[in-house]
Amino acid sequence: MSRIAEAFAKARAEGRPALVAYVMAGEPDVKLDAELARAVLAEADVLEIGVPFSDPVADGPTIERAATRALARGVRMEHALALARELRAGSAKPILLMTYYNPVLQRGLDRFAREAREAGVDGVILPDVPLEESARPQAALRAAGLALVQLASPATPPDRFARLARATEGFLYVVSSFGVTGARDSLPPESVETVRRAAEACGAVVPFAVGFGVSRPEHVRQLHEAGAPGVVVGSAIVGRIEKGETPDALRAFVRALRGASIPGR
């Protein structure tokens, strides 16, 4: 089993959804990001490392601000890879890179895939690469032993959902709401229906994780009760880092998210 598959299986055995957590490379600076990322990874099941990019079309204001600050500090793909390498040295949990296609192409697909693998990365999320355009990057990543995670949304029709479930590797990233990323007070009404449709499409083929707007333990619990085998939390974590939260406080927040669906917690 891959590390991603093991993480989802372990969470399922514990009666909870797998927690996929996101941090931005270089935030709050290039010295502290590793310490905060370790705190998050200690409690999460899977870690996404965001690579700062100037046109993050899928991201809301919190992650966009983080990317802008990181770029101003000179943070690029090299630092994200170095961060993954440092985290891999102390953890066997899955690590993903969340980036856009432009930085990957600028680096070269084969070079990027090779360097990501050497850094201990398990998979890559490319939110601006649709299924129809994903064959080339998927082939390069697969040759290096890396997963390409596909994305679905509330607008995805059933036949496309099924195609995405067959094409994705590791898990299917299911966007819970229309729009961009960002912490929300409550989950959108379409979330439960999107989870139902994802479960129908994925079946026992591949797990899925629901993101965009998940920011509170009660959100995790609601999605778990709806049938989601995984959840993704990004803006809520990045926002806490933006406000200067300590590693211990950040770890406690992620721990509360992870344990939200465990009976008795």
Catalytic residues: 48, 59
Structure tokens at 204: 């026992």
Residue 46's SS3 state is strand
* Amino acid at the residue 109: L
Which tokens hold the place of 35? Answer: 């310490």
Question: Rounded to whole angstroms, how far apart are CA atoms 59 and 179?
Answer: 9
Buried b (16+ CB within 10 A) or exposed e, 190-217: ebbebbebbbebbeeebbbbbbbbbbbb
Q: Distance between CA 195 and CA 197 in Å, rounded?
A: 5
